[in-house]
């Protein structure tokens, strides 16, 4: 069996080029600016009705999908006294895409336009 050469000691030009290409990325794509995930701040700033729960996920860049979850009637369940936040007792009552930015510590939340 041959010995493995540590990556830093390997001077093979093909490997060096592959590593450099991977780090740089494609030349035709512009680098995307680093954007902080504001999901937790968005949840705190949105209004919801009593009993509702909001979830928020960053989709890409400054675009987020927010869902409002509402409890459903449990009368038809085999165990109507079942409580808790489970998928079977809560349904998405509202869903919306937002464009969110933060300047000077303030969030600007606007509905995302549909293209």
Q: Which domain holds residue 54?
A: 34-111
Q: Is residue 8 included in any domain, yes or no?
A: no
Q: Is residue 77 included in any domain, yes or no?
A: yes
Q: Is residue 85 included in any domain, yes or no?
A: yes
The pTM assigned to this predicted structure is 0.60
Q: Is residue 27 included in any domain, yes or no?
A: no
Rounded to whole angstroms, the Cα distance separating 101 from 6 reads 44
Q: Is residue 13 included in any domain, yes or no?
A: no
Place of tokens 């954007």: 35
The token pair at 24 is 């740089």
Question: 104: phi > 0 → left, psi -120 to 50 → alpha, else beta; which?
Answer: left
CB of 112 closer than 8 Å to CB of 63: yes
Q: Is residue 4 included in any domain, yes or no?
A: no
Per-residue model confidence as pLDDT tens digits over 10-19 = 565 555 554 4
Q: Which residues pair with 109 in a beta bridge?
A: 100
Q: Is residue 82 included in any domain, yes or no?
A: yes
Per-residue model confidence as pLDDT tens digits over 2-58 = 555 555 555 655 555 544 444 556 677 776 667 789 999 999 999 999 989 999 999
User: Considering its fold, how many domains does the chain have in total?
Assistant: 1
């Amino acid at each position: 069996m041959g010995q493995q050469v540590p990556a830093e000691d390997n001077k093979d030009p093909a490997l060096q080029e592959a590593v450099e290409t991977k780090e740089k990325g494609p030349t035709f794509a512009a680098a995307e600016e680093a954007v902080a995930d504001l999901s937790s701040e968005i949840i705190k700033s949105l209004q919801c009705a009593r009993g509702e729960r909001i979830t928020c996920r960053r989709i890409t860049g400054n675009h987020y999908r927010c869902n409002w979850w509402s409890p459903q009637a449990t009368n038809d369940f085999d165990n109507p006294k079942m409580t808790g936040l489970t998928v079977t007792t809560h349904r998405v009552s509202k869903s919306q895409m937002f464009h969110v930015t933060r300047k000077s510590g303030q969030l600007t939340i606007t509905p995302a336009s549909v293209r």
